[in-house]
Structure formats: structure tokens, C-alpha cells
Amino acid sequence: MPDSSWLARPLFAFCIAVSWIGSAVSATIERPFDPTGKVAGILRVYYEYYPARSAGPKRGTLVATEGGPGFSATDSRDEYLALFEPLRADHDVVIMDNRGTGRSGALVCTRLQTAPTLTIEDIGACGESLGNRAPLYSTSYATDDLEAILAALDLGPIDLYGNSYGTFFAQVFAVRHPGRLRSLILDGAYPLDGPDLAWYPAYAPAMRDKFNKACERSPICGRIAGTSIDHMAPALKRLRAHSFAAKGFDVDGHLIHFTAGPAAWAVVLFGAAPPLATLREADAAARAYAAGDEQPILRLMAESTAGVDSRDPSFDPKLYSAGLAAAVTCQDMPQIFDMHLPPALRLMARDQGFESRRHRYPDAFGPFTLDEYHGMPPDYVFLDECVTWPVADEAHPPAYREGALHGFPNVPVLVISGEFDNMTTVIDGTAAAGQFRNGRQVVLANSFHVNALPHARTPCGAEIARHFIETLEVGDTDCAGRVTEVRLAPDFVTSYRDAAPATALVGNEVGEQGLRLAAASLASGGDLVARMVSNTSGHGVGLRGGRFTLRRDPHGLHAVLSRIRWAADLEISGRVDTDSKGDAGTLAIDARGPSGMVGHIESSWPAGGGDIRARLLGTVNGRALIAEAPAP
């Protein structure tokens, strides 16, 4: 049985609804809704406590806090416990749902939670509906809730891990409760404050660098003259000339309606949702669109339109609270206008700021204009999401000022950044680490947003984080530079006859058209891999038709394909199996093309960078196929 001696601690009298979850404890603690006492009410803050497994001396307490804002941290418990697993023998673990999320009174603004499109008007209406409660969902007060839980359990000093917005929370906790802290691990970090931060100046440069660097490293893309952003320019020009109503399927096979235009393309490039598919295919899809093939770019637009919506398909606020996300953003984050102004004057200040930016920094959001960038959803534009939110309350200062007010403690801080993270950029991570005298940043090559949790492209970030917790030293970071390149998609084709042929090997009996069919069949299966990695529904569709079903297990991803079409005149059925990251895999399919062209093809490829080759074996029209092609 776990040690339950802490149940006798006096401060635990403030907790209610204590229950065991296996060897863990589920509980709530009663907290004043308003620490200043101006607004009455009690908030029950939910947390889970996982005692160290061994009966011997404990080495410390690990705490994890979620991104968003708006997500329930305990809903991500499996990822956090996986990160901490090698340390749990002699470390306790605590995970808290921030006030207004999950089981800590999930905040409900019905229109924000269910409306098809997020608008600044609905965000403002949410704030108005909260009245004097609006500023009470502040990050500052949420960190005080965590401190109260730790005090009640008599735990600390703690090693605090935060990812994405959780890095903001972790920094605020460090400033407000330095005595409770042993170390910070900030995964996908941005600083509390900084020059011009409200305009997100690193956002566009990081986006451009991501696509350009990935292209330079790709044998497929790198052979094309110019940068990746150059390659995409003709598609953007065409979208500017003609925007239109469109539809496409997201990674879960749901039909999405949207307007295909510059703003939808900005969502693809800035939103990075899903991250692997957008980076892998954006360059090739843009070139295909400029040449007259709309399907690849429309699919990316549909996937990104759905992907940037953080709400659960069930719209359950306990899984993600859109109202809490707005409340924290508008209360705590720096804005491009003074939140003490009434909304009408804020709108004027926004417009004046936009006009100034157009003249002073015309390429700030390049390759998009400011107006095209502003066409994205408000919670991805960032600039004016809060323009209609209620006037700021001086009694509850925004959390981004905490560092300036109280200073940053001298604690060991590890910042983990992904080279291809254009949301919390390497530049932002550098600034976050620089706030602390003992801050250190590690950048993982070829990696996206949040890199210490199981979904990351490499276990490197988790290994560095655990070593840091154990030793308070960063240690060996060689693995950070060895993350393999993202393998970019081949050129999209409407006919398999236009695909680059596979390379024949000794013993091959198949002619050029058969080698093209084999390469297109491999590309057809490989095209699904990025969808498999991000799929949550268990089913999806092919680029130009067909369906697949997906199963996940500890060994990886397993898809059964039915008449999948990547090229319009070629359909494949069979299966694709990959590891959990979609890096190494196998394919076994039957292919059918026009004029009776048929093939049975098996393929396998190892994990690795852009130069990895896939082996192709089988038959095409009864002749032996022995060839190779770039791995998907």
C-alpha cells in the first residue's frame, strides 16, 4: 500500500473528495475564488498525487503543467507519467487542473465552446458574461492554487515541468513561489515579457526558416532552384487572384468547408497543424496548385483549418475550455493595445497600430501581408483576440508583469526548443532562458513543438530533461543535433505515369511504366503516413479517394487501405505499418492502374533522413519487380 501518513497533515483539512486511483490519490482543495476578497466564492481545485513507489527515502517531487491555455493537465497524465517514469521510484508526482480547466470548475462560455468560427465579438461576450470573475482565472492565481496543494501535502522543493503555455505558468510560479522550487524544465517556451512581444516578431521568420531549411535538407526539394518560400510564391499569387469556397477532408476523415485563399494558406504555414503533414507537403502542394492541381493544397487547408481548433469534437469544456483560454490570454498576456482602454478606443488603437506596421514593417508577416495574416483565426493571429474583452481591473495585474515586479529566482532552468517550432520559437526560448541567471537552452534539430513528451520525434528531449532533474546539469546534448531530417513529399501527380520511376535493381523484369506504377504505389501508401501519425478517429481518406482504418498498439501504427488514390488513375489496397512516429515502415498492397495494369508490391524502409531508400519487391503484370525508391 502507498504511504498515507500525509493524510494526517493539518492543512489537508482543506481538501475534499479524496479517493484512490490505484496507487494514486485524486482530490480537491478548496480555494478562495478571489484572493483579494472582493468577489465571494470558493473554487474546488482538482489534482492527482502519485506517491513515490519505493518505501525508501524520497528524492523530490515532480510537477507537470499543461499547455493551451484551456486544456486539462490531468487529461494528459499518461504523457507526463511516461516522461517521469524512470524517476518515479523515489519521486512523488503531482498534476493539477488549473482553475477553470478540467475538473477544477471548467469555465463554460457556450458560444465560444460551440460556435463554428471563433470571433472577437464572441470572445468579448464571454468576458462580459463573466463580469467581475473574468480576471480571477489568472495564471498568477492558478500558481497560488498549486502552491496551496504542495503546502497541504508538505511537498517540495519541486522540479516543475511545463510545456507550451505551461512554460508561462511555470515561470510565473517561479517568480511568485521561488522557495518551493528546485528546478524548471520549460518545453516549448516563450518569455513572460519582452520588447515588442505582443506583435510576435519571431513568428513569421521562424515559419519561413522552417520550410526553407527542411527543403534545403531534402534531396527532393533541395534540387529545385530558390527557397521553399520562393517555390510557394506562385500558389500564393494565384490564391490572391481568386479565392473560392472549398471543401476537403481532415486527418480524421471529416469533411471541412472553408474559403481557399491567402488566409487559409497562412493557417497551413503558421498553424503547423498537423505538423508533420504541413512541413512534409506544403512545398509540393503549392507547386502542384500553381500547375493546376488543387487537391493537395485543399487537403492541407482542410486539415489545418480543423487542426488549429483546440476544441474537442464533443466540445466538452472539461477537455478544453475555450472560455478559459480567452480569459487567461486577455488577462495575462501582453497586448498591442492598452487593456485599460474601453473596447471602442482599443479598436482604434489596433487599427492605428496595424497601419503603422504596414508602413514600418511591410514584410513582418511575409510572405503574407498583415491583412492576410489577420485573416487567420483570432487565437492564431494573437494580435487582437482581446480587443473587445472587458476593461482590465487594476486589482488583478496581468501575469506577464510578474517577472518585472518580483524578479526571477536563481534556480536551474532548462529550456527545450524545437528547431522547427514556429509557435514558441528558438528565439523565444532563448529569451525565456535568458531571464534566469542559471538558464540553459537546448535546441533539438528537425523537431517541432514540445519535445520531451512521448509524441516527440525523438526521445532525446525526455532523456535530457530527466538527466537535468536528477543532476541539475544539462549533461550530454549530442542527441539534440542528431534528429533525422523530415522526409519531404515527392511531387504530386494526377497520373501515375508522371511519377518519377523507381530505380531497377539486379533481377528486375519490370519496364519503365511498371517502375512508375511501383513508385506511385509507394508514394500512395507513404502519403497516408502523415495522416496516420495525427489521426485520432481510427479512419481517414485518401487524397483523391479511398479509405483507410487505423489501429494503434505499443508496436506502432497499422492501417488497412481500401482503394486509396494518390494519383487519379491508380488505386491501392492492402496495409501500411509504421513505428509510432511514422519513420520506419512496411507496405504490402495490390495496385490497379488503367488498361489492366496490376501489381502486387511489398516495401520496407528504415528510419532515417531524406536519403533513406525503400526496397520494392513483387510483381507488375506478372513480371518480377526488384527496385528501390526514396522512402516515404
C-alpha grid cell, residue 116 = 463554428
How far apart CA 77 and CA 66 sit, in angstroms, is: 10
Per-residue model confidence (pLDDT) at position 221:
96
How far apart CA 232 and CA 291 sit, in angstroms, is: 11
Per-residue model confidence (pLDDT) at position 611:
87
Per-residue model confidence (pLDDT) at position 470:
97
C-alpha grid cell, residue 42 = 470558493
Per-residue model confidence (pLDDT) at position 10:
35
Per-residue model confidence (pLDDT) at position 311:
84
How far apart CA 61 and CA 40 sit, in angstroms, is: 33
How far apart CA 104 and CA 91 sit, in angstroms, is: 25
Per-residue model confidence (pLDDT) at position 4:
38
List, for residues 78-136, the tens digit of each pLDDT value: 999 999 999 999 999 999 999 999 999 999 999 999 998 899 999 999 999 999 999 99
Q: Which of 584, 529, 537, 602 is nearest to 559 (CA)?
A: 529
Per-residue model confidence (pLDDT) at position 6:
37
List, for residues 185-243, the tens digit of each pLDDT value: 999 999 999 889 999 999 999 999 999 999 999 999 999 999 999 999 999 999 999 99
> Are residues 247 and 258 in contact, defined by beta-carbon separation less than 8 angstroms?
yes
Per-residue model confidence (pLDDT) at position 9:
37
DSSP calls for 337-365: S-TTS-HHHHHHHHHHHHHHHHHH-TTTT
How far apart CA 238 and CA 261 sit, in angstroms, is: 9
> Are residues 346 and 339 in contact, defined by beta-carbon separation less than 8 angstroms?
yes
How far apart CA 607 and CA 355 sit, in angstroms, is: 48
Per-residue model confidence (pLDDT) at position 17:
56
CA distances (Å), 615 to each of 179, 485, 575, 591, 602, in order?
A: 58, 20, 16, 16, 8
Helix (H) or strand (E) holding 130: helix 120-130
Q: Which residues contact 372 (CB under 8 A, 6 or more apart)?
A: 262, 263, 266, 365
Q: Which residues of the chain have pLDDT under 70?
A: 1-22
Domains of the chain as residue ranges with CATH = 18-197+395-475 (3.40.50.1820), 496-630 (no CATH)
**What is the dihedral angle through the alpha carbons of 286, 291, 295, 300, rounded to the nearest 10 degrees?**
0
Per-residue model confidence (pLDDT) at position 461:
98
* Cis peptide, bond prior to residue 69, ω within 30 of zero: yes
- How many CB atoms lie under 10 A from the CB of residue 10? 8
How far apart CA 383 and CA 622 sit, in angstroms, is: 60
Per-residue model confidence (pLDDT) at position 15:
47
Q: Which of 194, 215, 182 is nearest to 62 (CA)?
A: 182
DSSP calls for 246-295: EEEE-TTS-EEEEEESHHHHHHHHHH-SSHHHHHHHHHHHHHHHHTT--H
User: Which residues are paired to 616 by β-bridges?
Assistant: 603, 627
End-to-end Cα separation, the chain, in angstroms = 49
CA distances (Å), 360 to each of 25, 356, 363, 364, in order?
A: 55, 6, 9, 9
Per-residue model confidence (pLDDT) at position 156:
85
> Counting runs of H as helices and runs of E as strands, what totals does the chain give?
18, 20
C-alpha grid cell, residue 546 = 479511398
- How many CB atoms lie under 10 A from the CB of residue 204? 22
pTM above 0.85, yes or no: yes
What is the SS3 assignment for 163? strand
Per-residue model confidence (pLDDT) at position 315:
86
What is the SS3 assignment for 532? helix
C-alpha grid cell, residue 596 = 489492366
